[in-house]
Chains A and B, each alone.
Chain A
Amino acid sequence: MTVFHFFNCAILTFGPHAVYYSATPLSEYDTLGTSIKAAVVYLITSLVKLVCLATFLNVSESDRFDPYQELLKALIGFIDVAGLYFALTQLTHRNISQNHKFQAVGLGWAFADSVLHRLAPLWVGARGLEFTWDYILQGLEANANLVLSISLAALGSLMWLRKNKPKTLIPIIYVCAGIVATMPSITSYLRLGLEWHLPKVVGFELFTSLVMAFISWQLYSACQRPSN
């Protein structure tokens, strides 16, 4: 019964990634290699992040929200953006269109994140006898994270790869990218600073991820138009 629950949570956490890959044209153009490279880049980035966090951050005894520490954490979080930049621009891919490239990178990125951050707790916790909503919420969080990763990759590809984009949209793109990149800090502020409960935080994440996805989609298609 509890292994059953583990499978449910695993499906919720990792299923959308697989569905996204198979449902979109990504599967038809065989972009798995790109995704895996992005995942490897994610692994390296998170290692660098770990080292930075360990070097610059004090271990806080309490769960209080410390603005200075959180600012530092947010700055270190921008290493993610650097990693994503590397994955989008420096990696030599087979010639796939920009359109598919950012999706593949975002997908690999989100999948690696889910595996790293959620698989172990899931394996340890969800198989136990005790039932909590935590693992289901965590799965939903993974979904939100997938949407956010792809949005960020889309915005990144707009920033770094697309040359002729409408001048008026550039600041909006940067602002959106900034918001998406600081999402982890925002949620941690909500959780620790405002002491929101997990369901509320996850709901917020899902909502903002959908909003950001919609905005980045609109931006992306707006940039697509003049080039056509």
Chain B
Amino acid sequence: MANLQKSKPSIGFVIPVYSSVITLFIIVMTCVELCDAVTVVDVYRLVQYDVGGTPFGSRLAVLNHHAGSAVLFSAAADLSRTVLILPIRELNLTFIREYIGRRKPLGGLLLLLPLDFSPQDRENIGEADHSSAKQFVKGVLVELEQLLIHANIPYPVYFGFEDDDVNSVLADVKRNDATGQLATATTGGYKLVVAAPEPKKVASPTISNTQGWLPGSKADGGSNQLPTIAIVASYDTFGAAPALSVGSDSSGSGVVAVLEIARLFSILYSNPKTRGRYNLLFGLTSGGPYNYNGTQKWLHSLDQRFRETIDYAICLNSIGSSSNELWMHVSKPPENAYIKQIFEGFSNVAEELGLKVGLKHKKINISNPRVAWEHEQFSRLRVTALTVSELSVAPELLESTGGLSDKRKFVDEASISRSVKLVAESLARHIYGQEGKTIDIFADNSSLAVNPSYIRSWLDLLSATPRVAPFLSKNDPLIMALKKELTDHTVEVNVQQEVLDGIFTFYDSTSSRLHIYQVASVTFDLLLLLGLGSYLIVLFSFLVITTRGLDDLISLFRRPPSRKMKTA
């Protein structure tokens, strides 16, 4: 007490010194390295969307909880304040299904994809990868993606990658969890923080359809319109993590094929002698995952009279896998003469290429809003159309739309080249009336050969660009690039901007940065405070004893009561 009273008058003396201290402070502050020893990684949030007002996906973006590992799954512990870190490699799908199905509370979920699924991974490209481990991960991912997309999850779900930093954190967390203690504020551990703003609705998402023309030549200069053949692919994707949905196969391969076919025919059509009697229309449509909404908008915007001149339309979808089987999906019965003719043309060429083409017929139910194939939008407007795909069965809504597992490494360039050749060759034979003859228009090593490096470069670009339509802006570089590419080969290219209508509402904040902090527990700080207190007391006693003697120390403790007596 005596000390306190003595130091009081000096406070006034301290203040003028302060200003100079503060200036030096600032100097020192600039010298100090403002290094926070945290790990920061990129993470990608699970998609959040509403279908007709029903919420789906991860409904939160903000994350601020302690980390936990799969070890905690078995324990019947309360995980409502824990972020589970689960590597896909070791994922137990039944547990996840149970957790999501029963809507058990969870602080958050961080799913770790293998590093070779990351967009930065540029190695191993070129060769399709079929190792069993990769295929296993792919299978798990497909299943997990469907599970997550169709669930309403009240906590944040993020996707990250198993890089070294995260792996070391996970190893630590596992070790800590194995001891049986739940990591909360009192036991320390790691804290995962994502400071994302509240997800906002994407206001009127636009879809951009791009089209280009190759006009045919009228032989006799007659007034009647030339018939048109349309080659169409949908370019956008949908997946559990919009920022990771690059869709190399669905439907990057289709887009690549359309661009290459446009390039091949532009060479033929640039020479008046080889210009065919058909107009060619190339379309890159958006909104594919949402019942081909963009295709529908695009077709409706076309002139009715023109639409009637479309002879038939070929839609390309998922043609990049290395199997030798392709399917031709139609909505008209296979007995239809037109369909028969096209199918025969295709299977003839396929035979020469060593491919197998099958015909699949699926009737359209007009009352059902689900449109499984792009050609069904044409068929609904009575335009003959077919879809060429490696998928034998029509996918469900939001299935096979180029999600997490649809990566570059699972796509085979050679099979895209082969499919391109199949379509281009059968088309050319039809246009030039060479059906049934074995001529090779797009022969290898000729000037009209399919160009593998062109296919590769476009496939690489598309495989590195997430293309979920609501998150693509009107002037997105990708849309501009597609437009420019079509302009190089075709004429009258235009980009049509439409609003994605229907029942879908999307929310933003698709990717953020995850901060991983190593935190100490409150108990540690309490113990530290106790230790420090006793240290200072010991120091005090030691100093008093050595400088003033033991009696002084004892008298220090005796003095206060005597003071009180005096004041009283």
Contacts and interface: CB of A to CB of B under 8 A. Distances in A.
Contacts of A218: none
A96 interface: no
A101 to B, nearest CB: 15
Interface in A51-97: none
A27 to B, nearest CB: 5
A25 B547 contact: yes
Contact of B519 (A8, A33, A131): A131
B525 A19 contact: no
Using C-beta atoms within 8 Å of the partner chain, give the interface range for chain A: 35 or more
A114 B347 CA distance: 85
A1 B522 CA distance: 6
Contacts of B547: 23-25
B532 A12 contact: yes
B528 A129 contact: no
Contact of B532 (A8, A23, A32, A130): A8
A39 interface: yes
Nearest to B543: A23
B543 A24 contact: yes
Contact of A25 (B13, B21, B38, B548): B548
Interface stretch (B25-33, B373-381, B498-506): B25-33
Interface string B165-189: 0000000000000000000010010
A43 B21 contact: yes
A5 interface: yes
B200 interface: no
Contact of B543 (A5, A20, A40, A130): A20
A46 B25 CA distance: 12
B120 interface: no
Interface in B484-532: 515, 517-520, 522, 525, 528-529, 532
Interface stretch (B3-11, B249-257, B286-294): B3-11
A120 B29 contact: yes
A24 B549 CA distance: 10
Contacts of B95: none
Interface string A113-127: 001110111001100
B24 interface: yes
A43 B528 contact: no
Nearest to A23: B543
Contacts of B536: 11, 15-16, 19
B168 to A, nearest CB: 15
Contacts of B337: none
A58 to B, nearest CB: 16
A23 B544 contact: yes
A8 B518 contact: no
Contacts of B10: 32-33, 36
Contacts of A46: 24
B525 A4 contact: yes
B525 A8 contact: yes
A43 B22 CA distance: 11
B532 A43 contact: no
Contacts of B520: 5, 131
Nearest to A4: B525
B540 interface: yes
B539 interface: yes
Nearest to A8: B528
Nearest to B10: A32
Contacts of A136: 528
A128 interface: yes
Nearest to A44: B20
A195 interface: no
A23 B36 CA distance: 37
B34 interface: yes
A42 B536 CA distance: 25
B32 A121 contact: yes
B193 A129 contact: yes
B191 A129 contact: yes
A129 B519 contact: yes
Contacts of B32: 120-121, 124
A227 interface: no
Interface string A191-210: 00000000000000000000
Contact of B517 (A4, A115, A120, A131): A131
A8 B519 CA distance: 15
Contacts of A27: 2-3, 6-7
Most buried by B among A21, A33, A128, A130: A130
Nearest to B4: A22
Contacts of A40: 17, 20
A132 interface: yes
Nearest to B519: A131
Contact of A128 (B7, B29, B517): B517
A115 B34 contact: no
Interface of A: 1, 4-5, 7-8, 11-12, 15-16, 19-25, 27, 30, 32-33, 36, 39-40, 43, 46-47, 50, 115-117, 119-121, 124-125, 128-132, 136
Closest 3 CB pairs of A and B: A23-B543, A131-B520, A129-B517
11 contacts: A5-B520, A5-B528, A8-B528, A32-B10, A120-B32, A121-B32, A124-B29, A124-B32, A129-B519, A130-B519, A131-B518
Given A5-B525, A25-B548, A129-B517, 12 more contacts: A7-B529, A8-B525, A20-B539, A24-B548, A47-B24, A50-B27, A120-B29, A121-B32, A128-B517, A129-B519, A131-B188, A131-B520
